[in-house]
Amino acid sequence: MVITFLGTGTSSGVPRVGCKCPVCHSADSFDKRLRTSALIDTGTERILIDCGPDFRQQMLSYGKSDIDALLVTHSHYDHLGGLDDLRPFCHRNGGFPIYCSADVSTDIHTRMPYCFGELHYPNSPTFDIHIIDDNPFKTNRTEVIPLPVMHTPNLRIFGYRIGALSYITDCKEMPGHTLELLRGTDTLVINALRHEEHPSHMNLQQAIDVINAVKPRRALLTHISHQMGLHSEFRRMLPLGIEPAHDGLTVEI
């Protein structure tokens, strides 16, 4: 199984529009982060996690021509704003398979009424939405375990585990029962926004605390803000086994 990081930046991306900080002005390609998303190739299926506003650019950059399913973590724009650009992948009978919570499904219908039923506009994407709950589910060929995490005290979202890979973004609080679901993870992807605390995202120390509790062989940080500092400097301060992901990074599990 291989994961490709299509984007590793927070909601504004890095560089942030109009920002004059050294990270946003860095010439290092590792300091350029599109909105967070990943593509997992299990060997039999290619599964996209989140489809943000940079999706089109990500597909063009990495030359990915086929995707079999989308898992959505939550419906914030930085994770779902690229849905319309799924059009080239919507050739399947019945529409492109999307796995998401009931709340996310409602948001998709509200934002994109022209994709459904009588309002369907010619050539707009067609979706086959599978509503998931906390129980493990199967895409066409892949077993997936939802990982419920708290983005804010009122917003419960999903990370996902596929085999020995666990992928969590936009988590602020990790429930104890989800920590149990993470046991035995070989490669853990987890969000770390910046050094200072934040109301809806883990900071670096909070992410390290979860990594220390899970003890994966390898941990990769994502959903990174310009406030984390230069990639070249920030990666040197991380404990062994923890590294920042970067756009285009591929990791074999």
Residue of 31, 54, 78, 85 that binds Zn ion (CB under 5 A):
78
Nearest approach, Cβ of residue 74 and Zn ion (Å): 6
Residue 22: CB atoms within 10 A of its CB come to: 12
Q: Does 21 bind Zn ion (CB under 5 A)?
A: yes
Pairwise CA distance, residues 197 & 203, whole Å: 5
Chain mean position to CA 176? 21
**Cβ-contact 6, 38 below 8 angstroms:** yes
Q: With respect to Zn ion, which residue has the nearer C-beta, 16 or 246?
A: 16
Site string for Zn ion, 80-119 (x = CB under 5 A): ----------------------------------------
How many residues sit in the footprint of Zn ion (CB under 5 A)? 9
Nearest approach, Cβ of residue 174 and Zn ion (Å): 15
In the chain the beta strands, taken as DSSP E runs, fall at 2-7, 37-41, 46-49, 69-71, 96-100, 127-131, 137-138, 143-152, 155-162, 165-168, 187-191, 218-222, 242-244, 250-252
* Contacts with 65 (C-beta within 8 Å, 6 or more apart), sequence order: none
Residue of 2, 12, 24, 126 that binds Zn ion (CB under 5 A):
24
Nearest approach, Cβ of residue 95 and Zn ion (Å): 25
Q: With respect to Zn ion, which residue has the nearer C-beta, 1 or 234?
A: 234
Residue of 50, 54, 170, 247 that binds Zn ion (CB under 5 A):
170
Which residues of the shown chain bind Zn ion in the complex (CB under 5 A)? 11, 16, 19, 21, 24, 76, 78, 170, 226
